[in-house]
Structure 1
Amino acid sequence: MTHDQHDYSVTAVQLNHTAVYATDRRRSAEFIAGILGLEVGAPFGPFLPIDLGNGVTLDYYEKRDEPIQSQHYAFLVPEERFGGMITRLEAAGVTYYADPHHTEPGRANDLFGGRGAYFDDPDGHNMEIMTRPYVRP
């Protein structure tokens, strides 16, 4: 293999990127990047990307001509950064919840031995931060 060739083989299927619809891609991308402590990348065509650092990119895409349908995005975050994320939510005046249905405001959960919280982004997407992955049967 020469230096300009790449080995793109993978041993498992992996999520590479996903489009996140927003009424204002800059506002929404800056919101979640700020909460997560990440940076918004340079525009890539119609997308405004946020690199999550694990090979996955959120590509914010502006969609103004029709309503945005709420989606759920869950982020596995380091335990030592969770408190800072909660602090940034509070500083931004964003209510967070212990549950996905938003009935327990101002509380984090302790699922699977970690901590987690849910909150809405500017377009109503249900965002989740969690320090432990779900334990599935």
Structure 2
Amino acid sequence: MKVNIVNKGSLSLPEYKTEGASGIDLMANLKNAIVLNPMERFMVPTGLFVEIPEGYEAQIRGRSGLAAKNGITLANGVGTIDSDYRGEIKVILINLGNEPFEIKHGDRIAQMILAKYEKIEFNLVDYLEETDRGSGGFGHTGL
């Protein structure tokens, strides 16, 4: 599938780093480095604008290495970019670590995955079919 992309930054286009990769790395497009102190968040620009086909969304996910080594993750968990959005892709990073973290121009800050979705219609009913699980959740099967 081809996706239209505009690059208003000074970085190369994102790419898959390995043959089996499902996500492409997004890079920080910054004039000056920023320091993200513990519990601070910042919307990091990428310089990228995409035209996602209808029926798809772009999911922005954190990078596991940044989270494991430095406590840097996405403030919103997983970001969603809808097919009708035409603004710049920005990544909301938060520092959950104990030390300040510097983000420099060109640093890989997140991953983007394109995912197909289906629209649903709700059917209002008076009850739901029973299952063995029922309403059990949040640890109902033990540790």
Normalised to the residue count of structure 1, the TM-score between the two structures is 0.26
Higher relative contact order (CA 8 A, sep 6+): 2
Higher helix share: 1
Higher strand share: 2
Normalised to the residue count of structure 2, the TM-score between the two structures is 0.26
